Amino acid sequence: NAEYMGVASCRSKSYQHNTMFRRKSNSSPKADKKKIKYTGHMGSLSPQMVDALEQFKVELNEAGMLRPEHSDPYLLRFLRARKFDLPKTKKMFIECQNWRVEFGVEDLVKNFVFEEKVLVKEHYPQYYHKTDKIGRPIYIERLGALDFKKLIKITTEERILQHYVVEYEKLVNIKFPACSGRVGRLIDQSFTIVDLKGVSMSMFSKQVFQFVKAASRIGQDYYPEMLGQMFIINAPMLFSGVWTMVKPLLDEKTRNKITIVGSSYKEKLLEHVAPENLPVMFGGSCDCPGGCQNSDLGPWSDGGPTGEIAMVSAVAEAEHASEHEAVPSDSALSVAEELDEVALNEAS
């Protein structure tokens, strides 16, 4: 993870001067009327959040667990997930690092090959495709097209979970840095579309439920705060029963990021995604040759900057904005509202 986490060298200055959303004494009356909210992301940290981050690093260092790749953006994901509660954050972080060793994450990244990927997509379509209006990678999952019985004839649950983990690592190390480089600011969350068209209760057997539970745990516990927003579309009437089963598997913060709509979802999606970035089947105008699900189009694949260079560039832009913007611009505020908002009093 060193490539993505290479921003560690930029860490201190950015958090000593977090003023992107701070008003100065000469701020305008219009800005004074706006309630300042700190998202817990880089460039938007309250003094309490900065203190929590610094103390977190001290405690991890004393425990011998702070590594060069554990940058501030990486550590902040765990702090946001536990509302900047240090004991809970530390517990979550240690459990994550232990799991990475037990699951063999580093070895999987280097050696895992998912030869059955194309066949798996036929029975469980899921893919990344371009970005939303604020630069987050779009992840699309057509859950209604899932045929679990055929799926496990092609591969195993273990290999699917291993594939999930490798894709998470690619998201962190490749996609997020590329998206950050494209928009000039840190991007560390995704925009997700889950399509339930064709879903039925018979699909959710005990085996499927256990698989969903295992996959959800990996995402929530070991790759926290990577979901920016999720739209569940084409939700049938019966979905309320399924949601009753799935909802307890998700923490409160994750549930609050999810919007469930029926078949009239086009306008909702287009509020967040430009038509040229949204596949035709979901109401957009993108019709990639060979199918959007096989194109892998996005800043990570179109020749733009990727990796450490892109991420450091985005961090530098965030620092510059933090130091020179006394009042948040309307565009900055709109981006902040899209992000997972952590109010100042939550960190108090």
Q: What is the pLDDT of residues 208-240, one digit of tens each?
A: 888 888 998 999 999 999 999 999 999 887 777
Rg (CA), the chain: 20
Q: Any idea how long the chain is?
A: 348
Each residue's pLDDT tens digit, 72-129? 999 999 999 999 999 999 999 999 999 999 999 999 999 999 999 999 999 999 999 9
Residue range 44-65: mean pLDDT, rounded: 96
pLDDT: which is higher, 316 or 24: 316
Q: Which pLDDT band holds residue 256 (cuts at 50, 70, 90)? A: confident
Q: Is the pLDDT of residue 242 over 90?
A: no
Classify residue 345 by its DSSP letter.
Answer: G
Q: Is the pLDDT of residue 332 over 70?
A: no
Classify residue 136 by its DSSP letter.
Answer: P
Q: Which pLDDT band holds residue 164 (cuts at 50, 70, 90)? A: very high
Q: How far apart are CA 84 and CA 49, in angstroms?
A: 7
pLDDT: which is higher, 270 or 341: 270
The pTM of the full predicted model, rounded to 2 decimals, is: 0.78
Place of tokens 């598997």: 249
Tokens at residue 85, please? Answer: 């509660």
The pLDDT value given to residue 207: 86
pLDDT: which is higher, 293 or 333: 293
DSSP lists the bridge partners of residue 333 as: none
Q: Is the pLDDT of residue 314 over 90?
A: no
At residue 43, φ and ψ (nearest 5 deg) are 85, -5
Q: How far apart are CA 15 and CA 47, in angstroms?
A: 9
Tokens at residue 306, please? Answer: 């990727």
What's the N-to-C CA distance of the chain in angstroms? 31
Residue 248 DSSP SS3 = helix
